[in-house]
């Protein structure tokens, strides 16, 4: 299977190195607006994929991996070559799908893959979709993982002055994605799994924690579901290493004859 990766940051680099070692896949192309990231990455790879334009990757690859930012997702979905039968698109920046649902719903031949990312419990939540009355996501992160977020800058939140755990945001999915675009893919994935429009999101800054923690609480006619993950941040403090492992699992499962979970 020919693979192309869009985005050569931490996640893209980790996935590229995994694919480079896997005999079932051939990494033929990489894309990043910062060419220095491309050149840094190919030094770590045995095979040397080409630096390709976005259109070239979508046209020539069987599996397209998006690991850039949510801003690129719309351009990928609009590309006419994505509609070719048999293609697969793995999206890491699921927040970018929320504003492009009409485009996503029009895709017929391409299989869109959304890793569970940094959370647990998606199988159960998908099973009770349509029966949920309340869904709350509480994300707690170290100060460093929240620095530079648009909401922080706009509201002049002084993160360094926070000494104890503090709720710094409480709102809906749309506002969360706008205010914390690099922190909230988990919330977008929750919505895409459940299609529950009234997700309540809390973001907590905790200067004393070393983990990215996501707690999900759902209730409805089925009872209650509670799932929590305490993730070790990756080299990118905004990203949990579990997100990388989740993506790798999706890629590996493409060749598995036995599927566990839905």
Distance CA 216, CA 220 (A): 14
The pLDDT score that the predictor gives to residue 254 is: 92
What string of DSSP letters covers 71-121? GGHHHHHH-GGGGSTT-EEEES-THHHHTTHHHHHH--SSEEE---TT-S-
Residue 167 scores a pLDDT above 70: yes
* Inter-helix orientation angle 10-20/35-42, to 10°: 30
Q: Strand, coil or helix: what is 53?
A: coil
CATH topology of domain 122-238: Dihydrodipicolinate Reductase; domain 2 (3.30.360)
CATH topology of domain 2-113: Rossmann fold (3.40.50)
- The total of other beta-carbon atoms located within 10 Å of residue 36's CB is 9
- Asked if 82 and 62 count as a contact pair (C-beta separation under 8 A), the reply is no
Q: Strand, coil or helix: what is 262?
A: coil
The pLDDT score that the predictor gives to residue 236 is: 84
Read off the pLDDT of residues 131-143 as tens digits, 9 standing for 90 and up: 999 999 999 999 9
Q: How far apart are the first and last CA of the chain?
A: 23
Read off the pLDDT of residues 213-259 as tens digits, 9 standing for 90 and up: 999 999 999 999 999 999 998 888 888 899 999 999 999 999 887 87
The pLDDT score that the predictor gives to residue 31 is: 98
Read off the pLDDT of residues 76-121 as tens digits, 9 standing for 90 and up: 999 999 988 889 999 999 999 999 999 999 998 899 999 999 999 9
For residue 262, what pLDDT band results from cuts at 50, 70 and 90? low
- Asked if 173 and 97 count as a contact pair (C-beta separation under 8 A), the reply is no
Residue whose structure tokens are 């710094």: 168
What string of DSSP letters covers 158-222? -GGG--S-EEEEEE-HHHHHHH-TTT-HHHHHHHHHH--TT-EEEEEE-TT--SEEEEEEEEETT
Distance CA 201, CA 222 (A): 22
* Inter-helix orientation angle 10-20/241-253, to 10°: 40
Q: How many residues does the chain have?
A: 262
**Active centre residues (catalytic):** 214
The pLDDT score that the predictor gives to residue 124 is: 95
- The residues spanned by each domain of the chain are 2-113, 122-238
């Amino acid at each position: 299977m020919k693979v192309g990766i869009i985005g050569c940051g931490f996640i893209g680099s980790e996935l590229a190195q995994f694919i480079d070692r896997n005999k079932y896949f051939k990494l033929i192309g990489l894309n990043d607006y910062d060419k220095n990231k491309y050149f840094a990455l190919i030094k770590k790879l045995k095979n040397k994929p080409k630096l390709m334009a976005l259109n070239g990757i979508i046209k020539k690859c069987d599996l397209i991996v998006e690991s850039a930012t949510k801003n690129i997702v719309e351009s990928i979905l609009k590309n006419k070559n994505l509609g070719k039968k048999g293609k697969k698109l793995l999206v890491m920046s699921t927040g970018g799908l929320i504003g492009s649902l009409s485009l996503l719903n029009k895709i017929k031949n391409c299989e869109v893959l959304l890793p569970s990312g940094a959370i647990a419990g998606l199988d159960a939540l998908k099973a009770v979709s349509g029966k949920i009355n309340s869904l709350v996501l509480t994300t707690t992160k170290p100060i460093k993982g929240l620095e530079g977020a648009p909401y922080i800058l706009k509201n002049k939140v002084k993160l360094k002055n926070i000494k104890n755990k503090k709720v710094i945001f409480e709102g809906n999915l749309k506002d969360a994605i706008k205010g914390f675009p690099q922190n909230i893919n988990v919330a977008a994935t929750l919505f895409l799994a459940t299609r529950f429009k009234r997700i309540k999101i809390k973001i907590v800054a905790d200067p004393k924690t070393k983990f990215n923690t996501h707690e999900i609480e759902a209730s409805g006619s089925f009872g209650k579901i509670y799932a929590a993950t305490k993730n070790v941040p990756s080299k990118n403090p905004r990203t949990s290493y579990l997100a990388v492992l989740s993506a790798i699992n999706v890629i590996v499962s493409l060749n598995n004859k036995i599927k566990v979970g839905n």
